[in-house]
Each structure stands twice: as C-alpha cells, then as structure tokens.
Amino acid sequence: MTIKTNFLEESIVSSLHISEDELNAEKFPELSLVKVILAVFEKEKQLSCSLAHTHKVKLLYPMERYIDQGLKVKIDWKAYSSQHFNVTATINKRDKALFKFNGTLAVNHN
C-alpha cells in the first residue's frame, strides 16, 4: 500500500461547523469529537485511518457549548512509521481550547 501523504507537513488547521446531529452528547461526548478529529485528519491527508490508541482525552467545557458553533480544529502529528501517526489535536472557539486529544491513528489497509 502506498500512503499519499507529505510527512513534512505536520499540522492541519481546519474550520468546521458541528451541529447537534453530529454530536452524540448523551454518554461519551468526547468520543464524538474524536470522530470529528479523525474525519478531519482523513480528509486532509486522504487516508483511511482508525483510532489505534487514545493517550488522553480532555473535555474542557460543558458539551452544550459545542452545538451549532463554528469551531477550528488544529491537529499536530508526527508519523512514527508508514502505518501510524501520533496525533495531538485541539478544538478551539475564538482561540480558546475547548477539547484536547492525544492519541495514535493507524492507517487502514484497503
């Protein structure tokens, strides 16, 4: 498998709009936000990935503040193999961090 990615670019900043439908705020809202981060990473890197390991997930503010708001996702990563990325991500609103994530993404084989 060939991975189409530029390992020299080590960050993504993407704006997104999260609606109530995209969030499952009932039990584990942070997992929905991890999925958002994964989706942004996959789209920007044109890869199919899955969450291999979660090192740290921190919800900094009540979930209600996320719904229907324009947010920015900043993802910093380091490829430590051709199959894995260490990812640190924050979701920000007006330069205020609302959510922090640190984990490992694995490239899916097609």
Positions of the chain with pLDDT lower than 70, given as ranges: 1-9, 16-29, 62-70, 110
Q: Are the C-beta atoms of 14 and 77 separated by less than 8 Å?
A: no
Query: Residue 1's pLDDT is what?
Result: 37
Query: Residue 85's pLDDT is what?
Result: 92
- What does the pLDDT look like over 20-43, one tens digit per residue? 555 555 555 677 778 888 988 988
Query: Residue 44's pLDDT is what?
Result: 86
Torsion of CA 92, 94, 97, 102, to 10 degrees: 30
At which residue do the structure tokens 């960050």 appear? 11
Instruction: Give the Cα separation of 19 and 68 in Å (integer).
Output: 5
Sequence-distant (≥ 6) Cβ neighbours of residue 94 within 8 angstroms: none
Instruction: Give the Cα separation of 71 and 73 in Å (integer).
Output: 7
Strand partners, 77: 87
Mean pLDDT of the chain: 77
Strands (E), the chain: 11-18, 49-59, 69-79, 84-93, 96-107
Complete domains list, the chain, with CATH: 11-107 (3.10.129.10)
